[in-house]
A = this chain, B = another copy of it.
Amino acid sequence: MSNPKKAIVLLSGGLDSATTLAVALDKGYECHTLSFDYGQRHRHELAAAARIADDAGTFHHVVTIDLRAAGGSALTGDIAVPKNRGDGPIPVTYVPARNTIFLAHALGWAEVLEIGDIFIGVNAVDYSGYPDCRPEFTAAFETMANLATKAAVEKTLRIRIQTPLIHMSKKEIIQKGISLGVDYGRTHSCYDPLPDGGACGACDSCRLRKKGFADAGIPDPALYAPEKP
| Interfacial residues, chain A to chain B (CB-CB below 8 A) | 61, 63-67, 69-72, 89-90, 94-101, 103-105, 107-109, 111-113, 130-132, 134, 136-137, 140-141, 143-145, 147-150, 152-154
Contact = CB atoms under 8 A, between A and B. Distances in A.
A187 B63 CA distance: 30
A144 B144 contact: yes
Copies in the complex: 2
A107 B95 CA distance: 11
Given A65-B66, A66-B64, A154-B89, A131 B147 contact: yes
22 contacts: A61-B69, A64-B65, A65-B65, A65-B66, A89-B154, A96-B111, A97-B104, A97-B105, A97-B145, A100-B144, A100-B148, A101-B104, A101-B105, A101-B108, A103-B104, A131-B149, A132-B147, A136-B147, A140-B140, A140-B147, A141-B148, A144-B144
Contacts of A101: 101, 104-105, 107-108
Contacts of A72: 108, 111-112
Given A65-B65, A101-B105, A112-B72, A148 B137 contact: yes
